[in-house]
Structure 1
Amino acid sequence: MTATTVNDAEVAKFTAMAEQWWDPKGKFKPLHKFNPVRLSYIRDNLVRHFGRDPASIRPFEGLSILDVGCGGGLLCEPLTRLGAKVTGIDAAERNIRIAQIHAEQSRLDIDYRATTSEALVAAGEKYDVVLNMEVVEHVDNVPLYMKSCADLVAPGGLMFTATLNRTARSWALAVIGAEYILRWLPRGTHDWKKFLTPEEITAQLRRNGLSVIDEIGVTFNPIADSWGLSPDMAINYMILAERPAAK
């Protein structure tokens, strides 16, 4: 059998919620609140790394971006509006269909595919930017998944990884608090045992030829009811890595 990163139970879980991807008050409400922070982080780093004009309306013209585990397209659509050629992939076909419908309604040209990162590697594809955002904690075979994502990064390109740290605080807040007390997420959305530490993610990135150039935490401010960047990586965090340019 061909090795796969797909966890069928996780795919079924998100397929069942697919209709609510674009409802800011639905089951993906926390992600809608979280989205501006990660989008801003991605935008700022792409502008800096690729030497783009931050004042431009479409600063990412000519850049190819792959969003792995794209869901309904919450990152794909704004990045397309910023000029990038975006490909969104997801193992759940229902997610892809929802994303396609919303993109058509928004008159956006996005290449959505129901496939996996390892399948794209087998096809020999490369991208300037690979987004690995809140996915690694839901896959099987983490080493294969991280390798396949890294292999898709073109020389001189970037990979963003966002996930949850495996700490006592993340269990208390991201699982018990978010799923059972505040009910921000359906119960069972996350399995704390599958969370990964920044050290584990960094080791995977380096093992696959990428160099870590930034890492940052993301924290929730209950008074402002908003997310923001923080040096505190105990719960949510993002790691940025690059593949050296070809010599």
Structure 2
Amino acid sequence: MEILVCVTRVPDTAENEIEVNADGSDIERDSLVYSVNEWDNYAVEEAIRIKESSGGSVTVVTVGDGESEEVLRREMAMGADRGILLQDESFAGTDGRGLATILKAEIEKGKYDLILAGAQADAGAGEVGGMLAALLDFPYASLVNSIEIVDDKTLKVGREVDGGNIEMNRISLPCVLSIQTGINEPRYVGIRGIRQVASVQIPVHGAGELGLSTAAVEPRVRREDYFVPELGAGAEMLDGSNEEIIDKLVEMLKAKGGLK
């Protein structure tokens, strides 16, 4: 099975204090530590497991700048067979539909049975997977937390739905799936693996190679502002034993009309 996984380089929230810049146009990025998007990492692990059990290959692709190569190399060290960087000045600042358009152009250059993406990949919007499927006219499932190969034309996928329930579906190949965290446990990537792929040539495809005009990736949605919400009244912390705290809480609820 030929699998393509869309990955993204994002600020590592475990390693950074995220702050809005002075004019509210963006977050402060000068000293940020970056890593692969967590949801995408689960998607790559799932792709590698499918390859290990059923054969085929795994390609990772990202839209970004030269620094995004580090994300591709990390996923190649994890077990992906190759990486592709989609880089062009016209791609900078594009929106979800623009990203889906860029990825579609690359996908149509190859022949893939399965396209995976992280469920929360595009600044948390969770829209690129669905848009990509629509542009390709492929079947689509979101929030996927299990994949079973039925035959060479069909998958059985589980989706996480409200209330912690799982919805099972059969979906025809080729298709696009957005992967939820928890579908697997991504493997550890060691220094040795990273060194092995450090010198591997990663092809870079721009707008010309993809046959895309500037108008095709022009954003239709523009981010107007970043801001930190104003703080409301502070919380009142209750001290004492569990019994004392419960008594105080009950009295406060009665005083505010929450209990009679």
| TM-score calculated relative to the size of structure 2 | 0.34
Q: Compare CA radii of gyration and give the structure with the larger one.
A: 2
| TM-score calculated relative to the size of structure 1 | 0.35
Q: Give 1 or 2: higher helix fraction.
A: 1
Higher relative contact order by CA 8 Å / sep ≥ 6: 1 or 2?
2
